[in-house]
Structure 1
Amino acid sequence: MKIAIIGTRGIPNHYGGFEQITEQLATGLVERGHSVTVYNSHNHPNVAKSWKGVSIQHCYDPEHMLGTAGQFVYDLNCIRHARKNNFDVWLFMGYTSSSVWHSFFPKNSIIVSNMDGMEWKRTKYAKTVQRFLKYAEKLAVKHSHFHIADSPAIKDYLDKKYSVNAKFIPYGAVLPAASEEETLRQYNLAKDDYFLLIARMEPENNVEMILDGFSASNCKKNFLVIGKTENKFGKRLVGKYGSDNRIKFLGAIFDQETVHALRANAQLYFHGHSVGGTNPSLLEAMASGSLIAAHDNIFNKAVLGNDAFYFDCAACVKALLEKTVCTETKKTFTRNNTEKIRQQYSWDKIIDAYENYFFECCQSAKNESYVSSKRWACK
């Protein structure tokens, strides 16, 4: 197949979850013999025209000048360029700034949208923005031939609200090799001598709830926070907890070996995400063998089941931090979560699922005339 992936800042990953799955998916599909083009922002540090066999198309992205409005311009530029090529499948990663350009979607390609989470639930957005996101979600469902949900809860929502049959395909994770001692020395840390949180500084990730619980606790160990703090909410958090010398804001760290080592050696890893589907950072924590405390919601429970501690308030966080965890409990939780990565969330399985679904989409398009007549490359 000839596949275009649109809707990310580009690969290799220097930003977040959609970039990470695009990196893995694009290279995996190329290894399986497909032609894949990923659309990159012209601001991406990788300026090459290809990466690990993936064709890279850079498009002008004015986000650095226009803010959020620039994302709409960038997506339009990607779509207009992709129209000039004879792609079998267009895979949109998200819909926030792309679905409004549906009139530019080609009539001779299959449009597949990874629908992300319920973006309109994010509390960082004003009511007017939340209403727009609901509208953008509706457009994405209507003007895509097929839909992917990365969580059973998201699939259930889409199927019931829009009467579609979304395909559940989660994110994946890698079981990393241990290379931890140098990282611990670099950060002057010891195994099980600190707590850890990795997240974007956004209200729905419950960073403040977690740090409130820690601040109120009698813990002597440090609490490491990884994530950019340059936005308004992040700056407020740094100001609020600046007087607590146990809390260390480390900023964003993109080196995966470093992040793995920090996860693997934390006494307890906190995952506060409450909006969205299968979260990549949660899977990575599971793969690292972290003992996990997660926000109590349907998305996290669908992944972790009984193999984690849960919290929904600062007092719950405080209680968890002051709790003595049985060694056998930790071994059971981490062993079970590692096995889930191996059996359910390995990248090979995820890439296979995407490839098979694209073939199914091609077959349905031929049988049901979703797109204009065409000599399909996919059989």
Structure 2
Amino acid sequence: MHLPSIAIIGTRGYPSYYGGFETAVRKLAPYLVGQGWDVTVYSRPGATRPDDPHRDHRVHVIETRGFEKKSLSTLTYGYSAAKHCIKQRPDVALVMNVANGYWLPLLKRAGIPTLVNVDGIEWDRAKWGRVAKWVFHTGARWTARHGTRMVYDSREIARRWKDEFGLEGDFIPYGGDPVDGDLPVEPGLERRRYALVVARFVPENSIPEFFDAAPEIAKESDVVVVGSGGYGGELDRRAQELTQFSPRIRWLGHVSDDQRLLSLWKHAGAYFHGHSVGGTNPALVQAMAAGAPIVARDTVYNREVLGPTGRFTSPQPVEIARSVRELLRSTEAQEAAARDNAARALNDYSWAAVCGRYESSLRARIGALA
């Protein structure tokens, strides 16, 4: 019996803990294998651990080459993966990121239908310069022209693509894992007595503003910062300076231990989510599922995910500090927010439902170019 086959292109690999795409693939690849698929994930050398205890060895991992440069990595690794994929001829390819839109004509010409997760509106991101924004926007146009079907992780992203490119697609958000059992509180912290931020250090995640607010928050509570710039830089330096400014401020860097991160969310008194672009954010959904009380930057994306009971703030440092401290001071508000967030995550953002939607969409693509 022929097993349906899929190649996944555009992430750092499997299993990887780098970002949202990687989290989705960690969940989706084993799920598809369990549903009878032959699954191949393209990876970057050194980006995964062969001895990772969470690795499902039924998932095929193929490493290809590229340039490990901020502006070139996605494009070059995407190209080498697409070229190899053409030789393998899977029934369908799941392509992550519109920067890989340049290689979709190659897959299309080879008769390989594609499901493309477009991610956020990359050309809106402050971290990219003028040339990089042009590269992403042009990649999006190529994606719209040559991709077989789009995946939008938020309804607002779907609206933006409908308005600009005239394309419908499938709404498939990210999921969250419910936190079962008793996870210990991070040593040196107290449950519901600390503020937490988890984010890549880029301006559109409101990291500079949170760093400005952190000393004020630290007057009353501990402050825990998880994340880094990935390539070093000014914000990493500022994070280090904050730890020297106050013993109540901790910078943990990038945390790849899922259980440790879940514990930090579960026991936080206030989790600040400052992401301003990008649709449904995986960290936000997971924080909700873990039962974190959340203060989010007021954006259409965060309002879509958190719903009517969400707590929101403007990105000014004084307002971030005020909103976070207000939540930290109220046990009643914390428990109500934790309860509402966990219930919404369970009802609307479960990984089981997310993976099921991906499989249905992938099966519908098979033979689409025949």
> Cα deviation per residue 1:101-145 (whole Å; 9 max; x = unaligned)?
234224322111100000011111112221221111111111101
Partner of 1:234: 235
Q: How many residues align?
A: 359
Q: Which amino acid aligns with 1:343?
A: N
> Cα deviation per residue 1:171-206 (whole Å; 9 max; x = unaligned)?
11110223322x52xx31111221110000000000
Partner of 1:113: 116
Partner of 2:263: 261
> Cα deviation per residue 1:37-61 (whole Å; 9 max; x = unaligned)?
111112223348x834211111123
Partner Cα distance (1:175, 1:352) in 2: 17
Instruction: Give the counterpart of 1:353 among 357, 360, 365.
Output: 357
| Alignment gaps of 5+ in structure 1 | 366-370, 374-379
Q: Which amino acid aligns with 2:292?
A: S
- Matched ranges for 1:238-249 at <5 A: 238=239, 241=242, 242-249=244-251
- Matched ranges for 1:14-53 at <5 A: 14-47=17-50, 51-53=56-58
Q: Which amino acid aligns with 1:134?
A: H
* Change in CA separation of 1:180 and 1:85 when aligned onto 2, cut-off 3 Å: same
* Change in CA separation of 1:68 and 1:39 when aligned onto 2, cut-off 3 Å: same
The percent of aligned pairs where both chains have the same amino acid is: 28
Answer yes or no: is 1:58 the counterpart of 2:63: yes
Measure how far apart 1:7 and its partner are: 0.2
Kindly indicate whether the alpha-carbon contact (under 8 Å) linking 1:118 and 1:276 is maintained by their aligned counterparts in 2: yes
Partner of 2:216: 216
Partner Cα distance (2:218, 2:359) in 1: 51
- Matched ranges for 1:177-192 at <5 A: 177-181=180-184, 183-184=185-186, 187-192=187-192
Partner of 2:165: 162
After alignment, is 278-287 or 132-141 more displaced? 132-141
Measure how far apart 1:239 and its partner are: 5.6
Instruction: Give the counterpart of 1:337 among 334, 338, 341.
Output: 341
Partner of 1:2: 5
Instruction: Give the counterpart of 2:286 among 284, 287, 295.
Output: 284
Q: Which amino acid aligns with 1:8?
A: T
Calculate the TM-score normalised by the size of structure 2.
0.91
Partner Cα distance (2:138, 2:129) in 1: 14
> Cα deviation per residue 1:143-182 (whole Å; 9 max; x = unaligned)?
101000000000011111111112110011110223322x
Partner Cα distance (2:227, 2:330) in 1: 30
Partner of 1:377: none
Answer yes or no: is 1:93 the counterpart of 2:101: no
Q: Which amino acid aligns with 1:232?
A: G
Measure how far apart 1:343 and its partner are: 1.7
Partner Cα distance (2:321, 2:263) in 1: 25
Measure how far apart 1:250 and its partner are: 1.0
Kindly indicate whether the alpha-carbon contact (under 8 Å) linking 1:218 and 1:322 is maintained by their aligned counterparts in 2: no
Measure how far apart 1:238 and its partner are: 2.5
* Change in CA separation of 1:68 and 1:311 when aligned onto 2, cut-off 3 Å: same
Partner of 2:175: 172
Kindly indicate whether the alpha-carbon contact (under 8 Å) linking 1:201 and 1:231 is maintained by their aligned counterparts in 2: no
Instruction: Give the counterpart of 1:137 among 135, 140, 165.
Output: 140
Measure how far apart 1:243 and its partner are: 2.1
Measure how far apart 1:225 and its partner are: 0.2
Q: Which amino acid aligns with 2:303?
A: K
After alignment, is 197-206 or 337-346 more displaced? 337-346
Kindly indicate whether the alpha-carbon contact (under 8 Å) linking 1:155 and 1:168 is maintained by their aligned counterparts in 2: yes
Partner of 1:123: 126
| Alignment gaps of 5+ in structure 2 | none
